[in-house]
Amino acid sequence: MSDKRILIIGSVAIDSIETPFGKRNSILGGSATYSSISASFFNKDVNIVAVVGRDFPKAHTSLLARRGIGLDGLEVADGKTFRWKGNYRYDLNSPRTIYTHLNVFKDFKPFVPAGLRNCPYVFLANIDPDLQDEVLSQVKGPKLVLCDTMNFWIQSKRKSLLKLMKKVDMFLMNEGEARLLSGETNLIKCAKFAMSKGARSVIIKKGEHGVLFFSKRFNCAVPAYLLETIRDPTGAGDSFAGGMMGYLSYKRKASERNLRKSLVYGSIMASFAVEDFSVRRLLGLKRRDVERRYNRFLDTTRF
């Protein structure tokens, strides 16, 4: 049996969120949190590298452990956990960041435990690109590297991000971030820009309008799952990436067919994540719920 372990570096956070449908303070969030839980529906060997502060509730750590997420790389440091506050208006695609408190991430020196240094699947979830790079440099010969980012890092660490882009197989951004990074308006041009900087393929998330995939081999567009109830879009991108990586690791081969299907599974996981605040909806899911929605998705997109 070939190795299908996944390693994820990203934020584990305490979020405060306001959407037109409600408001929550100090709830579990973070890119590594959403993506690891989402990936765990496809792969039972998902591990994270991240840091939290002493204030991080034990209940959150237990929740991740119960989900089977490997926490050997989760450091508990003196100081406060990363905190993010976001506010969404009726256009749910892009939040307004009220604050980003990096806290313990400011001095974090990521350390990949020896047993995880040969993980074949690596997801560099949204966090400081220098930390993403440090983790990647500790991993030996990964088979597939997916990298996500956001406007915060494009603005503050552009140089580091461009350096990192050369080392990844798939680079993920939302449409606003793709435009910010490239200075282009057209999304095909945005993707070409990222590929000219070394990314081997580019995925552009368009929220409720789906996702675009670009590579030298093929391009494709996948719509979002038709969803009537959205309560909190936070974590959609991370859940998408986790689902995609989970599916690709489960199939063990990034063929065109598997890549196309992974985009659909990613969209399905994102559609669940936004139905409730924090990771509530994801935690209540069974794998058969994912399959049911996948089949309904095929039905609504068949011509």
Query: Residues in contact with ligand AMP, total (CB under 6 A)?
Result: 18
- Write each residue from 126 to 145 as x if it is in contact with ligand AMP (CB under 6 A), else as -, in one continuous string: xx------------------
Minimum gap (Å) between residue 31 Cβ and ligand AMP: 5
Minimum gap (Å) between residue 30 Cβ and ligand AMP: 5
Minimum gap (Å) between residue 79 Cβ and ligand AMP: 16
For 52, the token pair is 């939290």
| Beta carbon nearer to ligand AMP, 4 or 135 | 135
Interface positions, 50-89, toward ligand AMP (CB under 6 A): 84
Residue 234 binds ligand AMP, judged by CB under 6 A: yes
| Beta carbon nearer to ligand AMP, 69 or 120 | 69
**Contacting range for ligand AMP; rule: CB under 6 A; set: 24-32, 44-52, 244-252, 295-303:** 24-32
C-alpha of 239 from chain center: 6
For 214, the token pair is 């670009």
Cα–Cα distances in Å, from 25 out to 85, 86, 104, 150, 210? 9, 10, 20, 22, 29
Angular region, 2: left φ>0, alpha ψ -120 to 50, beta rest: beta
The H or E element that residue 298 is part of is helix 287-300
The H or E element that residue 59 is part of is helix 58-66
Q: Tabulate helix, strand, coil % of the chain (nearest 5).
A: 40, 25, 35
* 3-state DSSP assignment of residue 146: strand
Collect all residues with Cβ–Cβ distance below 8 Å to 250 and sequence separation of at least 6.
4, 42, 43
Minimum gap (Å) between residue 189 Cβ and ligand AMP: 23
Residue 271 binds ligand AMP, judged by CB under 6 A: no
Residue 266 binds ligand AMP, judged by CB under 6 A: no
- Write each residue from 90 to 109 as x if it is in contact with ligand AMP (CB under 6 A), else as -, in one continuous string: ----------x---------
Residues that bind ligand AMP (CB under 6 A): 11, 13, 15, 29-31, 34, 84, 100, 126-127, 150, 152, 234-238
